Structure 1
Amino acid sequence: MAMSMLQTEPLDEVATAAYAHLFQALAEPTRLTLVQHLASGEHRVRDLVDHLGLAQSTVSKHLGFLLECGLVTLRPEGRSTWYSLAEPELLRHLTGAAERILQATGTDAVLCTHLRQPHRHRDAAAPLPAPVPVPIPEDG
Structure 2
Amino acid sequence: MAIDSDKCLAAGTGSSLDAAAALFHSLSDGTRLAIVRRLANGEARVADLVSELGLAQSTVSAHVACLRDCGLVQGRPEGRQVFYSLAPPELLDLLSAAETLLAATGSAVSLCPNYGTDTGAEVTG
Same fold (TM > 0.5): yes
Q: Which shifted more, 91-100 or 22-31?
A: 91-100
Contact 1:99 1:108 in 2 (8 A): no
Q: CA RMSD in A?
A: 2.1
State the AA in 1 paired with 2:102.
L
Partner Cα separation in structure 2 for residue 107 and residue 97 of structure 1 = 16
- Alignment-derived partner of residue 16 in structure 2: 15
The corresponding residue for 1:91 is: 91
Question: What is residue 41 of structure 1 aligned with on the other side?
Answer: 42
- Other-structure match for 1:103: 103
SS of alignment partner, residue 70 of structure 1 = coil
**Aligned twin of 1:59:** 60
Q: Is 2:16 the partner of 1:26?
A: no
Residue 75 of structure 2 corresponds to which residue in structure 1? 74
The residue matched to 2:27 in structure 1 has which SS?
helix
Question: Which contiguous aligned blocks of 4+ residues in structure 1 show a shift greater than 4 angstroms?
Answer: none
Distance 2:64 2:91 in 1: 16
Amino acid at match of 2:98: A
Larger Rg: 1
Structure 2's unaligned 5+ residue stretches are 1-12, 110-125
Unaligned residue ranges in structure 1 (runs of 5+): 1-11, 110-140
- Normalised by the size of structure 1, how large is the TM-score? 0.62
SS at match of 1:42: coil
Between the aligned partners of 1:107 and 1:100, the Cα distance in structure 2 is 13
How far apart, in 2, do the equivalents of 1:81 and 1:59 lie? 13
CA distance in 2, matches of 1:34, 1:100: 20
Q: Distance in 1 between matches of 2:45 and 2:37?
A: 14
- What's the CA shift for 1:27? 1.0
CA–CA distance in 1 between the matches of 2:60 and 2:97?
Answer: 27
Report the CA distance between 1:107 and its aligned residue. Answer: 3.7
Percent identity of paired positions between Structure 1 and Structure 2: 54
| Secondary structure of 1:61's aligned partner | helix
